[in-house]
Chains A and B, each alone.
Chain A
Amino acid sequence: MAVCWKKNASNECNLPLCFAFISGFKMKFAIQINASPYSSGCGESAYQFLTAILEKSHQVYRVFFYHEAIYQAFHFMTPPDDEIDLVRRWSELAKKHQIDLVICISAAQRRGLLFENEAKRHNKVDNDLAEGFRISGLGQLVEAMLEADRFIIFR
């Protein structure tokens, strides 16, 4: 699950992660998610972690979806009525807290998640991206890693 965190370069937050939760210190978090919604509980863990840090008024700099996690953003996922709509839950979270949800473009294209313009460029008709997500490159992940006080991977 969560495997990665470390102090930022200026050492200003060289404190254990739990410190962020018990003190008033506000941190900037960047999150990477690696698994699809129905293959593991990774998305659920990430979602609950995000709601917990937002509740404590920490900042979420960016959530980056990589590997199989691009399936977390498929607009047309249609679960049965008695199941939670995981994609819509991300869209709502993004809207409520203005969180930057980024899908990796190369991982997405490989797996057939295209937004409209991109599909056109490949002579395809498609528009899969759910509301609240945007598609961009790995540079956005690295920038988030560098900007955040804590970077955490859910896999």
Chain B
Amino acid sequence: MKKFLFILSQSPHDGFWVQETLDIILTVAAFDQPVSLLFLDQGVFQIKKKQNSELINEKNTTAIFKAMEIYDIHDVFSEVESLQSHGLKPGDLFLPVKEIFRKEVSLFINKFDMVCGN
């Protein structure tokens, strides 16, 4: 067993990156590995409420994120500075996130066996 951290820093609805990354995350979880997520930079928009991706003919990734609970993915983190610089508060997000400060990020990452940035 390895502890996985996925760092999500890409903006949503910009090609298929987010959707394909979600496929990896769910496959890792299906292998019964503990998974945590960290949203950084523009990645914080991935979990913003009220996305209307169907208007640009893209799959609604909100539903996939919400389904993560079924896969036992509960540890969702976001960087305080990333939220602030993009004008977001935890209340604007559809997933409950634990906030961590930028200065804590490197120590936080060290707790994991596997760190995947996409």
A-to-B contact residues, CB < 8 Å? 3-9, 34, 66-67, 106-107, 110, 138-139, 141-143, 145-146, 151, 153, 155
Q: From A151, which residue of chain B is reached at the shortest CB distance?
A: B114
B2: which of A8, A67, A153 is its contact (CB, 8 Å)?
A8
Q: Say whether B117 contacts A7, CB under 8 Å.
A: no
Distance between Cα atoms of A7 and B113 in the complex (Å): 6
Q: Say whether A138 contacts B114, CB under 8 Å.
A: no
- Give B1-55 interface residues, CB cut-off 8 Å to A: 1-2, 4, 16-17, 20, 23-24, 27-28, 31, 33
Q: What are 9 A-B pairs at a CB distance below 8 A? A: A4-B116, A4-B117, A6-B114, A7-B113, A138-B24, A142-B24, A145-B2, A146-B31, A151-B114
Measured between beta carbons, the chain B residues less than 8 angstroms from A151 are: 114, 116
Measured between beta carbons, the chain B residues less than 8 angstroms from A5 are: 115
Q: Say whether B113 contacts A9, CB under 8 Å.
A: yes
Least CB distance from A34 to B in Å reads: 7
Q: From A145, which residue of chain B is reached at the shortest CB distance?
A: B114
Q: Say whether B16 contacts A145, CB under 8 Å.
A: no
A6: which of B23, B28, B113 is its contact (CB, 8 Å)?
B113
In the complex with contacts A9-B1, A138-B27, A146-B2, A3-B114 CB distance below 8 A = no
B65 within 8 A of A: no
Distance between Cα atoms of A107 and B23 in the complex (Å): 10
B112 within 8 A of A: yes
B118 within 8 A of A: yes
Measured between beta carbons, the chain A residues less than 8 angstroms from B31 are: 139, 142-143, 146
Q: Say whether A138 contacts B112, CB under 8 Å.
A: no
Measured between beta carbons, the chain B residues less than 8 angstroms from A6 are: 2, 112-115
Q: Say whether B112 contacts A142, CB under 8 Å.
A: no
Measured between beta carbons, the chain B residues less than 8 angstroms from A138 are: 23-24, 27
Distance between Cα atoms of A155 and B17 in the complex (Å): 12
In the complex with contacts A107-B20, A138-B23, A142-B31, A9-B2 CB distance below 8 A = yes
Q: Say whether B27 contacts A141, CB under 8 Å.
A: yes
A142: which of B16, B17, B20, B27 is its contact (CB, 8 Å)?
B27
Least CB distance from A6 to B in Å reads: 5
Least CB distance from B15 to A in Å reads: 9
Measured between beta carbons, the chain B residues less than 8 angstroms from A9 are: 1-2, 113
